[in-house]
Amino acid sequence: MKKLHNDELNRLTVKAFRAAPKMPLIIVLDNIRSGHNVGSIFRSADAFRAAAIHLCGITARPPHREINKTALGATESVEWHYFTDIRMSLDLLRSMNYDIYAVEQTDAGMALENFHPAFDRPLAVVFGNEVSGVQEDVLALTDGCIEIPQYGTKHSLNIAVSAGIVIHDLFMKYMQTTKNIF
């Protein structure tokens, strides 16, 4: 076994990435305080070819020093849009026939492992503020909630970690469901 060097990884150029097929997933970030978290989510979106990211409210947007530090250029490859209010993002997604799910702990949430979208319609997942999560009134605008089961004492994960888990899980399900091979 040998570690692969960067030139052996067959990485796409930014131009090739932008033209490449994407998973029909938009990540909606609402009022995320940390630019480092936003940058990390850009990297996960790039890694698993999410269609785009919607940055809403106080969420930092490129160019931003903290985002750049963790995104490592993914802000150039991943399409992103800014909305002053999340409702504008959700209205647009709804008009484009997206199924919209929040990632939040609720009394009616579905465990991530039990969430199996058919991918016959595009999907959007909403992540809320690091402290207060997805706003109650925003939950009412979604089709449901996905929860990452946790078995420790904290029952909370860093938002960038949560997004990475959810995006990877949805990517694997997308590949299995559609038999799509990028």
The pTM score is 0.95
Answer whether residue 13 is part of any domain: no
Task: Examine residue 4 and state whether it is found in any structural domain, yes or no.
Answer: no
Which CATH number do you get for residue 105?
3.40.1280.10
pLDDT digits (tens, 9 = 90+) for 52-80: 999 999 999 999 999 999 898 889 999 99
Number of domains in the chain: 1
In a domain, 107, yes or no: yes
Q: Is residue 15 part of a domain?
A: no
In a domain, 8, yes or no: no
Position 178 pLDDT exceeds 90:
no
Asked if residue 9 belongs to a domain, the reply is no
Residue 29, in any domain of the structure: yes
pLDDT in tens, 67-117: 999 898 889 999 999 999 999 999 999 999 999 999 999 999 999 999 999
Phi-psi region of 8 (alpha: psi -120 to 50; beta: other; left: phi over 0): alpha
Question: Which 3-state string (H, E, C) describes 102-136?
Answer: EECCCCCCEEHHHCCCCCCCCEEEEECECCCECCH
138 domain-assigned: yes
- Boundaries of domain holding 52: 20-176
